[in-house]
Amino acid sequence: MFAVEEINRNTKLLPNITLGFHIFNAYHNDDRTLESSLVWLSGQGPTIPNYSCERQGKSIVVIGGATSELTVSMGTLLELYRIPQVTYGLFDPLLSDPVQFPSVYQMAPRDTSLPLAMVRLMLHFKWTWVGLVASDDSRSEKFLRDLQEEMVRNDVCVAFIYKVFTGLTEDERYHSYFLEKLSDSTASVIVIYGNTDTLLTLRFSEIPHTILYRMWVTSSHWDIAKKPGYIYFDNFHGALIFTDQTSKIPGFKHFLKTVNPAKDPEDIFLQDFWNSAFGCTSEIGKGDGAVCSPNASLDTLRLSYLDMTMSDQSYTVYNAVYAVAWALHEMFLVRSEMQSNRNGNNSGIYPWKIHSFLKNIQFNNSAGNQVVLAEKNSVANYDILNYVTFGNDTEVLVKVGEFISEAPLGQEFIIQQKAIVWPRTWGEPLPSRCDKVCSPGFHIKVQEGKPVCCFDCAPCPQGQISNQTDRDQCMKCPEDQYPNTERIHCLPKRVTFLAYEETLGMALASIAASFSLLTALVLWVFVKHKDTPIVKANNRDLSYILLLSLSLCFLCSLFFIGRPTAINCLLRQTTFGVMFTVAVSSILAKTITVVLAFRATRPGSRSRRWVGSRAPISLVVFCTFIQVMLCAIWLLLSPPFPDADTHSDPEHIILECNEGSLIAFYSVLGYIALLALGSFTVAFLARNLPDTFNEAKFITFSMLVFCSVWISFLPTYQSTKGKMMVAVEVFSILSSSAGLLGCIFIPKCYVILVQPQKNTKKFLKNNPSS
């Protein structure tokens, strides 16, 4: 009505032409739809196909088809007469087929971006478990398919899909089953898509409370605000509605305020609507209600009756009327250019002649927006409206966001979360999930055979954290950090090493210093009593070398304690290897000396020339030289260096010396083991030689202790990490050195200090067992 009146007042668009319109009912029933189409074609008399009985032959275009089914039902008949049909319902790609529907023109923009817009809303509020309800038609089928594809791409799961069949919405059993299915679902968010009439029953139902407090997401084509005046409910309070963006049409609100059936008594449609909306009757004595007030105005009606702002569907109807007017304008302009006869009426205007002008129509409406038809339709942009109901039976639609399909990625979706009024009992945006939230410290573990949204929560692995909810994977902490107990954030690792300040380091250092001092004391005792038989009996010089090397062995363990430095790392293993080689080779030389001494007593023995001080010392020097060469090669090719171990201890960075070459390290240890094994073998063979001060028994026992310590060292060293590995090596050095000192020299010191009478030549001569 508004568009026709506006066009008729425009002297430039259709001069000397007056537009009018007829209104016919359309039903979701093929028979009734065809009946209305035949009434329009035949006139108000009998509906006789191909006859026009009482019809003024001036209607040239049909504007209708709120759904694709209605368009197809009407189009089958109207196409016989090539009457243009301009639809204002949702854009349907099937109707764009020029072969099947050559006379159908669609005004609505393409809604291909609606699934993406709805999924953006789900992702924003973390709704990953969503139910889908749609009417059973081809358009809704395509929408469900597109929406599911978009949901799958974004890891949003479908809780259920339910289709509402047009012919069954009034069946009570079907209706109860439908509501029961919705009630049983764990989804807190339900998307509804379809035409108004199909889903009408759901809006007027006594919906169970379990469904009442769900979040409903829908499009404006399912008009949740419309309901009979005698019903009050807030089933859809807080719903979010995606509506096509429209521009404000100047003068429309003023037009609504001026509309009154008294001005046009022949408009029975307006009169019926007026009586229903205001609950009145136009004539005294008719009906049960009061007489309608002459001052009544549409702007006082509730939203359930009329939205004072032009809805997107009304906006499309408005553009459709103007499209027809502009097509007529172009047609008359062509006639004028061809100097055709125009007599001021529309005689000679046939419906099929308008097709060529409608196909290419393009104009700007009164809001300044460009309007095009057919395959040129642009992709729709959407306003997001929040449906809010109040206790006084009033309701409003509040814009809370928008979706601009052409906007740059990341900027297409805008939502004002604080402006949204949520469903009853929500109070805030609640999640809609298949399973519980995976709190920080846990990550999602998908269950096999279930949707991706239905998952278990598994703790983050060692060394990883999750500081957000529902993380697919945990994040690794940097090498210098470690997770806290809850595995929510990373803490800086503490630097650690075997320090003098800690109890273990202090104890080992004290033991090393004490044993070194004890060894020096033993050496002093031997030097002081150097001329006694017990000191002279087993090569006095080798005893001095052995005691000096043992003292240094105790002290070299101090290189392993304290913060590792380049000098420490270079010296600790090489000094240990050389000192122990000197000690073990001295013991080997002592043992060999005993054996050679007894062999030299035989007449004509060649061993006599090897008995003396020079040969054993030469053996010590030779054995030590080989170890020095091994250490030199090690230091030249792959020297040890300071390193930081960030993996062995999850909470500490362990400062240590990297050996550089494990082959070189174990070669040094292996060479010492070879010398020790040789010493043990020779000493074991010479243990029963008759001699008062025979060391062979003590050397055998000392080497047994030495080998036991280092054999147990190897597996223990390999199984420990960090500073404990260093402590194990220090302990092995101290214990093996102490074993050599105790087993070889303590018995001698006992005789020297406690029983000095046994350490004389007189005692030895008078002792029959000597």
> Is pLDDT of 693 > 80?
no
Over residues 435-454, the mean pLDDT reads: 75
CB 490 within 8 A of CB 465: yes
The dihedral sign for the CA sequence 36, 39, 45, 50? negative
Task: Return the half-sphere exposure (C-beta side, CA atoms, 13 A cut-off) of residue 150.
Answer: 19
Of residues 427 and 288, the one with the higher pLDDT is: 427
Could you count the other beta carbons within 10 Å of the beta carbon of residue 11? 8
Taking the model in full, what pTM does it have?
A: 0.62
The amino acid at 111:
D
1-108+311-353 and 113-245+380-419: identical CATH topology: yes
Beta-carbon-side half-sphere exposure of residue 207 (alpha carbons within 13 Å): 22
Strands 85-87 and 62-63, bridge-based pairing: parallel
Q: Exposed, middle or buried, 720 (CB in 10 Å: 0-12/13-18/19+)?
A: middle
Question: What's the mean pLDDT in 347-364?
Answer: 83
Superfamily (CATH) of domain 503-756: Rhodopsin 7-helix transmembrane proteins (1.20.1070.10)
* pLDDT for 234 beyond 60: yes
- pLDDT at 427 > cutoff 60: yes
Per-residue pLDDT band at 322 (split at 50, 70, 90): very high
Residue type, 166: T
Tokens of 230: 């005698």
Region 200-206: mean pLDDT is 57
Here the tokens at position 138 are 């081809």
Q: What is the 3-state secondary structure (H, E, C) of 163-228?
A: EECHHHCCCHHHHHHHHHHHHHCCCCEEEEECCCCCCHHHHCCCCCHHHHCCEEEEECCCCCCCCC
Query: Phi/psi class of residue 463: alpha, beta or left (left: φ > 0; alpha: ψ in -120 to 50)?
Result: left
Q: What is the mean pLDDT of residues 405-415?
A: 86
Dihedral-angle region of residue 458 (phi above 0 means left; psi in -120 to 50 means alpha; beta otherwise): beta
Section 193-214 average pLDDT: 62
Average pLDDT on 697-710 reads 84
Domain coordinates in residue numbering, the chain = 1-108+311-353, 113-245+380-419, 442-492, 503-756
CATH architecture for the domain at 113-245+380-419:
3-Layer(aba) Sandwich (3.40)
The answer on pLDDT for 766 being more than 70 is no
CATH fold, domain 1-108+311-353, is Rossmann fold (3.40.50)
Residue with tokens 């009586």: 275
pLDDT tens track for 577-626: 999 999 999 888 888 877 766 665 555 555 555 555 577 888 889 999 99
Q: What is the pLDDT of residue 342?
A: 46
Mean pLDDT across 227-255 = 77
Asked if the model's pLDDT at residue 350 lies above 90, the reply is no
Going by their DSSP bridges, the two strands 240-244 and 215-219 should be labelled as parallel
* CA pair distance 374, 102, nearest whole angstrom: 10
pLDDT of residue 690: 57
Q: How far apart are CA 59 and CA 78, in angstroms?
A: 12
Give the whole-angstrom CA distance, residue 387 versus residue 401: 13
C-alpha to C-alpha distances, 763 to 71, 392, 508, 692, 693, nearest whole angstrom: 135, 127, 43, 11, 13
